[in-house]
């Protein structure tokens, strides 16, 4: 019990040191070398019932079919008090990276993207939890007040009317997470619920929702319930802007598998999509299992010590890079001025990740059970030729 408590304490320290990295890494795993279309203009379908929260539509990406529209929809929160932080695309210095949405007690950073309906780029003004029930702001939400009585009406002024669907890069939204938004990484949060996953799968399998087919104006902009593309469907009123996709928009782009498909043993070769220290994840060590409790304890202490040291390295580089970002923002750097800095950050991050992977591999190799070489069978000496 004492050993377990020590291990949990050390693990908690690692998580604390990597708080921002853990936040930024939620669902990050796909990178594309050209940005998504603008957000289409559409109306919100009526809320299907009490307890449903609005999740705005966004452009997802598939390596075979390119960008496709995931319609906005009403989803039941996984638990009382949880709010939805939308997914967003962000420029990572050499490609656009996808950051998946999540449920948590606070709305975190979603790229400063103005999704509308209460998601103006910062936080959420479409409703709030009160006494175990969600109260809807009817100023931005389409709610039948004869059925749902827990409502209020507060004017919301969007900070921007742009339909830009990505953060950073040429023409992207210029926004970075605040320290308060970063602190939400320490709060308990969960990924999309099953209904949302099925909703995305249904959108992916619908050819009409592909940007290559609808040119940024998907026929199904939003639905009343996730996965139901027939009942309570709302069509797009107009495209958010002209979309000029590259000739190879549907195939052959630099898309990489999500982190969920990566092997558990992180010492194996894997694609590198990290461009900043804030995107790094802690390495997962193989738990010692030598059959000797004393040896396992010793090996675990070695792994915990290395994990804590690597967490400090991550945090130090992250703070250095964020300081340079802040200086660039104060000096109003344009994209051309930012490019050398982003390239340097990507190189620093990749070098740190490679060094940490090598350190981990060395530790695991030292801790691996040694194979005893079997003694050769005794044979009579060979006869000398006559």
Q: Give the domain-ending residue among 173, 207, 238.
A: 238
Are 147 and 278 in a shared domain?
Answer: no
Residue 291 pLDDT class (50, 70, 90 cuts): confident
Are 128 and 216 in a shared domain?
Answer: yes
CA distance 87 to 59: 9
124 Cβ neighbours under 8 A, 6+ residues apart: 83, 84, 107, 118
Length of the chain: 386
Are 46 and 160 in a shared domain?
Answer: yes
Across 75-89, 163-177, 294-308, the highest mean pLDDT is recorded for: 75-89
Average pLDDT of the chain is 78
CA distance 358 to 284: 13
Q: Is residue 278 part of a domain?
A: yes
206 pLDDT higher than 50? yes
CA 138 to chain centre: 30
97 Cβ neighbours under 8 A, 6+ residues apart: 28, 30, 31, 89, 90, 91, 273, 275, 279
Query: Token pair of 234, please?
Result: 């709302």
- Give the model confidence (pLDDT) of 42-54 as tens digits: 999 999 999 999 9
Are 275 and 361 in a shared domain?
Answer: yes
Are 205 and 304 in a shared domain?
Answer: no
Distances (CA, A) of 143 to 34, 107, 227: 37, 21, 20
314, 327, 341, 382: which is closest to 22 by C-alpha? 314
CA distance 20 to 179: 9
Are 137 and 222 in a shared domain?
Answer: yes
Q: Give me the pLDDT at residue 246, please.
A: 61
Q: Give me the pLDDT at residue 252, please.
A: 35
Q: Give me the pLDDT at residue 36, please.
A: 92
Query: Token pair of 90, please?
Result: 């962000």
What mean pLDDT comes out for the span 179-188?
80
Across 79-93, 161-175, 341-355, the highest mean pLDDT is recorded for: 79-93
Q: Which of 104-108, 125-129, 176-180 has the lowest mean pLDDT?
A: 176-180
7 pLDDT higher than 60? no
Query: Token pair of 231, please?
Result: 């009942």
Are 117 and 233 in a shared domain?
Answer: yes
Residue 110 pLDDT class (50, 70, 90 cuts): very high
Q: Is residue 52 part of a domain?
A: yes
Q: Give the domain-ending residue among 238, 269, 304.
A: 238
What mean pLDDT comes out for the span 324-338?
75
202, 201, 198, 204: which is closest to 250 by C-alpha? 204
Rg of the chain's alpha carbons, rounded to an integer? Answer: 25
CA distance 137 to 159: 18
Helix axes 293-330, 2-17, angle to 10 degrees: 20
Q: Is residue 344 part of a domain?
A: yes
Please report, rounded to a whole number, the percentage of residues in the chain having pLDDT higher than 70. Answer: 76
197, 195, 223: which is closest to 209 by C-alpha? 223
Q: Is residue 18 part of a domain?
A: no
- The tally of domains found in the chain comes to 2
What mean pLDDT comes out for the span 239-255?
59
Are 92 and 123 in a shared domain?
Answer: yes
Q: Is residue 108 part of a domain?
A: yes
- In the chain, DSSP finds a helix count (H) and a strand count (E) of 7, 16
DSSP-derived secondary structure for 107-139? ----TT---BTTBSSSS--SEEEETTEEEEETT
Q: For residue 144, give the 3-state DSSP assignment.
A: coil
Please state the φ and ψ torsions of residue 99, each to the nearest 5 degrees: -115, 115
Are 198 and 268 in a shared domain?
Answer: no
Are 83 and 228 in a shared domain?
Answer: yes
What mean pLDDT comes out for the span 127-137?
94
CA 276 to chain centre: 14
Q: Is residue 353 part of a domain?
A: yes
Q: Give me the pLDDT at residue 109, please.
A: 93
Are 209 and 340 in a shared domain?
Answer: no
249 pLDDT higher than 80? no
Q: Is the distance from CB of 360 to CB of 368 less than 8 angstroms? A: no
What mean pLDDT comes out for the span 303-317?
81
Q: Is the distance from CB of 21 to CB of 280 less than 8 angstroms? A: yes
Q: Which of 177-181, 196-200, 249-253 has the lowest mean pLDDT?
A: 249-253
Are 276 and 218 in a shared domain?
Answer: no
DSSP-derived secondary structure for 89-104? EEE-SSSEEEE--EEE
Q: Give the domain-ending residue among 185, 203, 238.
A: 238
Q: Which residue has the higher pLDDT, 210 or 259?
A: 210
Q: Is the distance from CB of 59 to CB of 37 less than 8 angstroms? A: yes
Q: Is residue 279 part of a domain?
A: yes
Query: Token pair of 148, please?
Result: 């749902």
Q: Which of 91-105, 150-164, 297-311, 366-380 has the lowest mean pLDDT?
A: 366-380
Domain that holds residue 68: 31-238
The owner of tokens 């999740």 is 55
Q: Give me the pLDDT at residue 364, please.
A: 76
385 pLDDT higher than 80? no
318 pLDDT higher than 50? yes
Between strands 222-223 and 72-76, the pairing is parallel
**Three-class SS of 18-41:** CHHHHHHCCCCCCEECCCCCCCCE
């Amino acid at each position: 019990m004492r050993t377990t408590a020590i291990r949990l304490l050390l693990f908690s320290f690692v998580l604390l040191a990597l708080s921002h990295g853990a936040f930024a890494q939620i669902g990050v795993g796909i990178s594309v070398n050209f940005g998504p279309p603008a957000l289409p203009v559409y109306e919100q379908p009526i809320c299907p019932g009490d307890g449903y929260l609005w999740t705005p539509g966004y452009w997802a990406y598939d390596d075979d079919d390119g960008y496709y529209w995931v319609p906005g929809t009403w989803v039941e929160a996984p638990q009382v008090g949880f709010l939805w932080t939308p997914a967003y695309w962000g420029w990572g210095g050499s490609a656009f990276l996808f950051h998946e949405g999540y449920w948590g007690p606070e709305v975190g950073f979603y790229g400063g993207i103005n999704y509308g309906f209460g998601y103006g780029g910062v936080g959420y003004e479409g409703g709030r939890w009160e006494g175990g029930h969600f109260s809807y702001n009817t100023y931005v939400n389409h709610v039948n007040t004869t059925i749902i009585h827990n409502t209020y009406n507060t004017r919301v002024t969007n900070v921007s009317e742009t339909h830009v669907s990505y953060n950073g890069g040429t023409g992207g939204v210029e926004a970075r997470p605040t320290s308060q938004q970063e602190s939400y990484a320490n709060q308990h949060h969960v990924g999309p619920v099953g209904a949302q996953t099925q909703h995305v799968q249904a959108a992916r399998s619908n050819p009409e929702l592909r940007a290559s087919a609808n040119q940024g104006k998907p026929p199904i902009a939003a639905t009343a319930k996730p996965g139901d593309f027939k009942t309570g469907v709302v069509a797009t009123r107009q495209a958010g802007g002209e979309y000029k996709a590259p000739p190879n928009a549907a195939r052959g782009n630099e898309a990489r598998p999500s982190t969920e498909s990566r092997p558990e043993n992180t010492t194996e070769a894997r694609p590198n999509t990290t461009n900043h220290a804030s995107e790094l994840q802690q390495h997962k060590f193989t738990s010692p299992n030598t059959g000797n409790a004393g040896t396992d304890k010793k090996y675990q202490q070695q792994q915990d010590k290395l994990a804590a040291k690597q967490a400090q390295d991550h945090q130090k580089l992250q703070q250095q890079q964020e300081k340079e970002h802040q200086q660039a923002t104060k000096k109003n750097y344009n994209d051309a001025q930012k490019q050398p800095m982003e390239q340097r950050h990507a190189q620093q991050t990749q070098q740190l990740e490679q060094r940490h992977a090598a350190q981990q591999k060395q530790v695991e190799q030292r801790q691996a059970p040694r194979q005893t070489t079997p003694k050769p069978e005794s044979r009579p000496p060979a006869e000398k030729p006559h």
